Structure 1
């Protein structure tokens, strides 16, 4: 097992917190990753895997288990199963934005709006990352996994990952364990072959973000360049010279609430339906139909509301910080908690709790953290 001298996690995570763990192992190939995980699991000690460290909030005390760094790389083009589509199989440790750049250069569409998202390819399906109307669930075909409970390697379809809004069966939500304890080894996407020319953009959310009219035509490269520019203006592209990027991106999830709860919020609170309110369908086999049709229960719709709006309307604006703290909200938007220079995890957690309490006092809603928390409580 390629064990290395443990590196402080503050050097490997974008929030820049965390001491050196008790043990650290680098896995640079697929086989090395599998054998390393087998060895670590055999010890029975605590563990977690680390990719780009962009969705991780680590506490100040040293982690007493093993951190496995996934450093595998590689993209393999494969034939698509539909005319006009190509599949790409990507190793889990491959940089996500490098994959997007590869796809754009190859004229393959489906992930270009997710340009600039930090992290690795293997982490992307875990929380079904997305931006400007594109999400992993739209292009993901399958993932190769290794399960902790059995040590077996298997390839599962996207449907088996339970992808939802910023979640999957693999994600560890705050206060709970993932439904399936497994590590992604590789991921396969199916992308449309559109080439380098200009074309109309179907997604309304992407058109709105890039200020495009419905009949405007642009190339994949144009989209990538403008998404990177837009994200950079919000401090969402990693930049060592910009402390607003010393964050885990949006620290709080946009809240998904019931329609009835959403009606208790001010009318000006931005909101979006999570699922269409479709009429339910009941299928009754003809050979068993007795003339009676049971009453169907209407499906309750859910609504996603803007957590950034709730935070700002609670009196907490951009750049907000507590006295004598080195943690603050981003100067560019209200959802990112940032490390302004050697802030401890305790300082960031204190700010997060303060924001949660303010929003709960004003609106009766507890905001949930989006990053995975290791050794930290809110």
Structure 2
């Protein structure tokens, strides 16, 4: 159609980049909420301190989850086979994540409804679970993407998943999960140092700096594992970038250990992603030690972006490799929606994404400044 100005290949690459941006947006914006929830039992010792921690994210956590909705919606609309395989194959893992995420709003709303300390302690545990479990399982999912997932298509493109929940919990996948937890805990700690003062900020700075160093070490260890002990995947047939979305039209196979690093030699600029991931974690640790919450938050956010981009650049053009049938692996060249669908969605995204960013920026501008016990006491809407 003449009004479609961008070719199919370009649209597929644009939507691959947009998916990465949405995942980074979720990890940075909702990631500090998850990190704060995970830190709650460790940085706040009294009921007042726990209320203080909760109120640092209370006004914004719901808006931050928009990025999760956008990411899921983008996968559903732009990459239907990816949505079908991942959401069915990772069904139990997704259920755990959703269960934990559901605990968060319930915990926020119900925690202070009764003065009972036992009641509040139980909801504090729920908020911890609502932060820790999604952070861990999402990292485990990314680890399994690098390992490959056990699924295949038949001749009619029906998908068959042959794995199970316990099969996802391999040593490398758990390492990836720990990377996720460490980076989000340091990110949440930076937000607490930025938004609070006194004992809560001091404890957050100490724990956050340790988490940032752990993020650096674990990410480096995972990189070494990928380089020397983890096979990659490669397409062995002709690569058709503007053809029909049918993963069975290609052939693929395992590559030798370190195969996921191939793109870094052919596209040298991509090496900036892991460098930013590592240096951002170190900078966050140093800045947290100096109680520079705002700069530490930017550094940890940059580290998160670098870590996510590292994975994206490494597996390009794969979206979800298959460990049992490499030829069934989904790539951005054979798992997208139609040309017209991608174009219409791009127009809608160009209209609404800036509105979301502008609204989010306005909310954070209104809510800037530290959260204090005095402010909580004067505000009837405080948690």
> Which TM-score applies when normalising by structure 2?
0.23
Higher strand share: 1
Between the two structures, name the one with larger relative contact order (CA 8 Å, sep ≥ 6).
Answer: 2
Greater share of residues in helix: 2
Structure 1 length as normaliser, TM-score? 0.24
